[in-house]
């Protein structure tokens, strides 16, 4: 099955991902599954499984900034989808494009970097 969504990453996101990949070895495989089971399910098939939450103050008609709160990571055994990994991304409604902005582990950082989101939206 080919994806209807095209994916991109910011340079800051790539640094975050590499850092987490050192800690959580299954992250790369879990990541591919998350794209299909969470993002495409929500934006393409319009199924809300309570994983994705639009971030207040950053959503408009053309672009939605969202946070994924339920991310199943096999490296974090026993936690299921409540692994504590958070993903911030921008969904471009017309072009069906996703740009990943930030990924973090909740025990290391409480909330998303709002400054980083604002910088992304300025570009």
The pLDDT tens digits of the residues spanning 46-63 come to 998 889 999 988 888 899
**Average pLDDT along the chain:** 88
Which one has a higher pLDDT value, 25 or 76?
A: 25
Q: Average of pLDDT values for 55-83?
A: 80
The whole-model pTM stands at 0.88
- Nearest Cα neighbor of 73 from 20, 11, 18 is 20
Higher pLDDT, 84 or 7: 7
Judge contact between 73 and 87, C-beta under 8 A. Answer: no
Domains of the chain: 6-122 (3.30.2310.20)
Residue 42 confidence class, pLDDT cut points 50, 70, 90 = very high
Distance (Å, rounded) from C-alpha 59 to C-alpha 62? Answer: 8
Report the candidate in 100, 107, 63, 103 with the shortest Cα–Cα distance to residue 86.
103
Task: Judge whether residue 79 has pLDDT over 70.
Answer: no
Banded pLDDT at 108 (limits 50, 70, 90): confident
Per-residue confidence (pLDDT) for residue 76, from 0 to 100: 74
Segment 23-45 shows an average pLDDT of 90
Enumerate long-range contacts of 26-30, CB under 8 Å, 24 or more apart. 26/73, 26/74, 26/75, 27/73, 27/75, 27/85, 29/74, 30/71, 30/72, 30/73, 30/74, 30/75
- Dist CA 112 CA 98 (whole Å): 17
pLDDT exceeds 70 at position 82: no
pLDDT at 64: 93
DSSP bridge pairs for 54 = 66
């Amino acid at each position: 099955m080919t994806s209807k969504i095209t994916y991109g990453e910011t340079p800051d996101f790539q640094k975050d991902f590499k850092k987490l990949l050192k800690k959580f070895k299954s992250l790369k495989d879990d990541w591919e599954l998350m794209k299909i089971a969470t993002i495409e399910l929500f934006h393409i098939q319009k199924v809300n499984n309570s994983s994705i939450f639009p971030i207040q103050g950053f959503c408009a008609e053309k672009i939605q900034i969202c946070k994924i709160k339920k991310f199943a990571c096999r490296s974090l055994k026993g936690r299921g989808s409540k692994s504590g990994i958070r993903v911030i991304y921008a969904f471009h409604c017309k072009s069906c494009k996703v740009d990943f902005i930030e990924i973090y582990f909740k025990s290391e950082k409480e909330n998303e970097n709002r400054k980083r989101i604002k910088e992304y939206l300025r570009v």
